Structure 1
Amino acid sequence: MSIFATNLRCGDGVSPEFSMLSSALQCGRSNIGSITLFVSTLLASVLAMPVVSGTLEDLIRSGALPSVPKKPSSVFKIDHVKQKGRVTLVLFSDREPGTRTAIHTHDDAGVTCIVQGEMTLYMEGVSPIRKQAGDCYYMPSGVRMIGFNSGKVVAKFYDFFNFKEGGTSLSVVEGKGCDSKGGVLDEFCALNPYMQHH
């Protein structure tokens, strides 16, 4: 079963891992332990992705995506645990319609789960992955990507990361990254203390 084809809805009779996340996200229960188990199981799976041509920069230059990255409307740190040389970070964010992240990579894989609206993940070399409330998408390590609110309402979503202590959850690779000051990336780069700043 591919996470890209899975809708996480309350009572759908999906696998136990998806049911736990479904319960936590859709059925009004807040159970970080269930979500953490789901994320651990998901990150251990191998996912196949269809290949497409074109770069993220080509999509932006063509006007297919907004040219300026914006930070989410709000970001809340839900959980932050350091254990055995690893950091587990869970964030809850709101993103306005028509806005996107900066082009970035992740040192370690992550997962985004949408609870309202829709988001589309654009990754280098694969078809766009559009997900709506109740769905999740997987973000592999080392792949250039952006998250884009492709819907008409504010998107609300959880991001789940587990990375090496002293590492980062996200490294901006657009333009000069977070090194350039006074540019369009300033707002985005100030967002997360676990983002890479050279």
Structure 2
Amino acid sequence: MKLPIHAGLLFAALFMAWPSMAQQESIARPEMILKEDVSGMPKGEKQQVRVLTANFKPGDKTVFHTHRFPVTVFVLDGAFTLALEGRAPVVLKTGQAFVEPPNVKMTGYNRSSTEPLRVLIFYVSDPETPFLDPTQ
């Protein structure tokens, strides 16, 4: 369908004005926190996506464990210390994220003696795969 010239000009003017119109509106835009290439993701026909939260009181820690697939941790409040076997400890503060690699022994800590810690965890796995495997 061919538009009359005046309708086409109107359409072009609206299209060109769209960016400035969008800036005037309150439009939420995502902010990239972490971008990382990973290996070891599940390759089956279906994957299960899990989003978890964990709350640590001052001094709390996780069990010594591994994950079968990469796990992304985002710190909502506090500071999270992650001790990965064979690597220097990683300390993440509020607003930071980290991808925990699969099949690496690790434990996470809230090293604060006064402040709680809250983390958000994203995990993609084969359906019904345990979130973690406790190790010695």
What band does the TM-score fall into relative to the shorter chain?
0.5 to 0.7
Distance in 2 (CA, whole Å) between partners of 1:101 and 1:136 is: 17
Larger fraction in helix: 1
- C-alpha distance in structure 1 between counterparts of 2:63 and 2:54, whole Å: 15
Query: Take 2:115 and 2:87, find their aligned partners in 1: how far apart are those partners?
Result: 25
TM-score normalised by L of structure 2 = 0.68
CA-based RMSD of the aligned residues comes to 2.3
Q: Is the contact made by 2:38 and 2:70 (CA closer than 8 Å) also made in structure 1?
A: no
- Alignment partner, residue 93 of structure 2: 132
- Counterpart for residue 134 of structure 2: 172
Identical positions, percent: 22
Distance 1:166 1:116 in 2: 29
Task: Determine the C-alpha separation between the residues in 1 that align with 2:126 and 2:133.
Answer: 14
Structure with bigger gyration radius? 2
Give the number of the structure whose residues are more often strand, by fraction: 2
Q: Which has the higher contact order (CA 8 A, sep 6+)?
A: 2
Question: Structure 1 residue runs of 4+, over 6 Å off?
Answer: none
Q: What letter corresponds to residue 119 of structure 2 in structure 1? A: F
After TM superposition, list the pairs within 5 Å mapping 1:41-52 onto structure 2.
Answer: 41-42=35-36, 44-45=37-38
Aligned partner (choices 119, 123, 127) of residue 157 of structure 1: 119
Shift of 1:20: 4.1
Unaligned runs of 5+ in 1: 1-15, 22-37, 47-82, 175-198
TM-score by length of 1: 0.48
